[in-house]
Amino acid sequence: MSVRPQDVLITGIGVLSPIGSSVSALHDSLLATRSGIRLWQSPSLSKSLPAGVIEEDFAPRFSKLELPYLDRCSQLAMLAAGQAIEDAGIDGFAAHAQRAGLYYGSVAGGVKTEHDWVRQFHVDHLEVSRPYTIMASMLNAAPALISIRHQILGPVITNSSACSSSGAAIGEACRAIRDGHLDIALAGGAEAALTPTFMALWGGLRALAEPDLADVGRSCRPFSVDRSGLVLSEGAVFFVLESRKHAEQRGVDCYARLSGYGIASDGYHIGSPNSKGQAAALRAALQDAQLEPAQIDYFNAHATATRGGDPVEVEAIRDVFANVAATLPVSSTKSIHGHLLGAASAIELAACVLAIADSFLPATAHLEQVDPECDLHHVAGNAQADHAVEHALSLSAGFGGTNVALAVSKEHDLRTRTLLRSDESRS
């Protein structure tokens, strides 16, 4: 592929997740295949559940004037966005006027605030909410607050397409830059929906994993013959995306090039996936990136560890990668960080970026016996170091049938980031 001024480069990453609250911590956990899944409990529920929990209260990082507007989801989003902006070496966006944008994805938004208000209404019999409750609970609260703090004055757009929400946000930001509408964008997603009412909603689907009695960290087992369901998680991941021309003018280095974006809908069922829609998204991303299936060196699967979902995705992978499926390295990092819902695409793209930057293959943890319906070339158990990754592809499939695939490629014409491996960073 020839170098184009509008190529989209990733120049900053911010992470708050169950497996690390920085790029380096995420990198270390992926290399070590270290699980962040713990036992989650609520007095409102009789059953404990595995979940990807960030064990920190972030409220002290905000002022008393800010907190009334800030659901936990917005707190995570603002902090991860700030990390990405700092990582990219940006002081602010005001000088870009309408040439800078913000694209965001979430499923539940300020659901914790909504949960608290419903309890106050029904239990405490309050007839009027506290001031600013609606602003804290609205789905676009986080991007609104980020845009205000960092003066992002161009498009500020919220995407909500279930598990593909942040993928669509990142993809649309990429398109806006490549089509010449923007020079720079902040894109990602956030979720903080570990509330009893929300967990009970998922319990109604019979889709949640049972806690592993020996080790709760092993509760999410994508592709495994003994998988029992998905594990919900919280977190936020953001990227700073820039056109090549803009990054070169700033004189900055980058992680990788966001090379392809594909989006396609199933048109099939609101709750059940369809392999044709997923395959269409994958083909669209490959075409957009000007890549052949054989050029993909790593595939980060959506694989949520559900009985119905994993085999459908495997069918899509076999369809698109027919001639090379037997050698395509595939893994699902949800096995250690769980399902971040609206932020799932973002953290899994980050895993692909780090795989490229440090030449390793993230693994599907706890995959000891593969379900025959899910037979692929799995990276199982432990990450594989010293494995060059030139191009990686990630797929997300959301309820409602919106599928998003993102391709990321090694950048050769601009200075790239150097990452320390776990053993090196401790020496």
Domain ranges of the chain: 8-418
Indicate if the alpha-carbon torsion angle 407, 409, 413, 417 is positive or negative. positive
Cα 186 to Cα 125, 143, 151: the distances in Å are 41, 10, 12
Is the pLDDT at 423 greater than 60? The verdict is: no
At 194 the three-state DSSP class reads coil
**CA–CA gap between residue 254 and residue 241 (Å, rounded):** 10
Give the torsion sign (CA, 305, 311, 314, 316): negative
pLDDT tens digits for 242-259? Answer: 999 999 999 999 999 999
Residue identified by tokens 């992978």 is: 317
pLDDT grade, residue 427 (50/70/90)?
A: very low
Tens-place pLDDT, residues 401-416: 999 999 999 999 888 8
Catalytic residue among 150, 246, 337, 339, which?
339
337 given a catalytic annotation: no
Do 417 and 356 form a contact (C-beta atoms < 8 A)?
no
Work out the average pLDDT over 198-215.
93
Write down the pLDDT at residue 426: 36
Residue 188 contacts residue 152 (beta carbons within 8 Å): no
- Nearest-5° angle of CA 313, CA 319, CA 324? 105
pLDDT recorded at residue 2: 62
pLDDT tens-place string over residues 62-76: 999 999 999 999 999
Dump the DSSP string for 79-134: HHHHHHHHHTT---SGGGGGGEEEEEE-SSSSHHHHHHHHHHHHTS--SSPPTTHH
- Which of 299-328 are b and which e, b meaning 16 or more Cβ less than 10 Å from the residue's Cβ? bbbbbbbbeebbbbbbbbbbbbbeeebeeb
Looking at residue 425, its pLDDT comes to: 38
Per-residue confidence (pLDDT) for residue 159, from 0 to 100? 97
pLDDT, tens only, 213-222: 999 999 999 9
Residue 294 has pLDDT above 70, yes or no: yes
Active site residue 269: no
Q: How far apart are CA 409 and CA 104, in angstroms?
A: 22
Q: Which of 27, 302, 337, 366 is catalytic?
A: 302
Q: Check if the beta carbon of residue 81 is closer than 8 Å to that of residue 239.
A: no
pLDDT at 343 over 90: yes
Q: What are phi and psi of 188, to 5 degrees?
A: 170, -155
pLDDT of residue 418 exceeding 70, the answer is yes
Residue 163 is a catalytic residue = yes
Q: Each residue of 99-140: pLDDT tens digit?
A: 999 999 999 999 999 888 888 889 999 899 988 999 999 999
- pLDDT band at 289; cut points 50, 70, 90: very high
For residue 167, pLDDT beyond 80: yes
pLDDT in tens, 49-65: 999 999 999 999 999 99
Give me the catalytic one of 73, 115, 163, 220. Answer: 163
pLDDT confidence bin for 421, thresholds 50/70/90: low
Owner of token pair 């609520």: 42
CATH code for the domain defined by 8-418: 3.40.47.10
pTM, two decimal places: 0.96
Mean pLDDT lowest among 116-120, 196-200, 374-378: 116-120
- The predicted pLDDT at position 424 comes to 43
